């Protein structure tokens, strides 16, 4: 894993819990930069790795950490569940 989302990968990969719930602000703190507008407006940004033109491999940060992302856009949180 490399690129701008590597820090999120590292964070998720080193968590012991089967589910990690992060607010958008916490994700931005881990990354060191703001999430793109699509992340706040489109569920597909989290669930479909082909939708983001700016960083086409953003979803690698959780898929390579063996996690699935389930966003709640209204609450501005994402649940990253371990994929078994």
Q: Tell me the pLDDT tens digit for each residue of 21-61.
A: 999 999 999 999 999 999 999 999 998 766 545 544 799 99
| CA 19 to mean position of chain CA atoms | 13
Task: Give the count of domains, the chain.
Answer: 1
- 1 is a domain residue: no
What residues make up the domain containing 63? 6-82
pLDDT digits 0-9 by tens, 64-84: 999 999 999 999 999 999 987
Nearest to 58 by CA among 23, 15, 20, 7: 7
Confidence (pLDDT) at 84: 78
Q: Is the pTM higher than 0.85?
A: yes
Q: Report yes or no: 82 and 18 within 8 Å, Cβ to Cβ.
A: yes
Residue 68 lies in a domain: yes
Phi-psi region of 68 (alpha: psi -120 to 50; beta: other; left: phi over 0): beta
């Amino acid at each position: 894993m490399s690129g701008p989302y590597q820090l999120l990968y590292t964070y998720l990969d080193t968590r012991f819990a089967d589910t990690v719930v992060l607010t958008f602000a916490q994700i931005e703190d881990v990354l060191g930069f703001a999430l793109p507008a699509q992340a706040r407006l489109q569920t597909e940004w989290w669930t479909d790795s082909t939708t983001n033109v700016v960083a086409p491999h953003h979803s690698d940060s959780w898929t390579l950490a063996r996690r699935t992302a389930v966003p709640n856009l209204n609450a501005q949180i994402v649940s990253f569940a371990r994929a078994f």
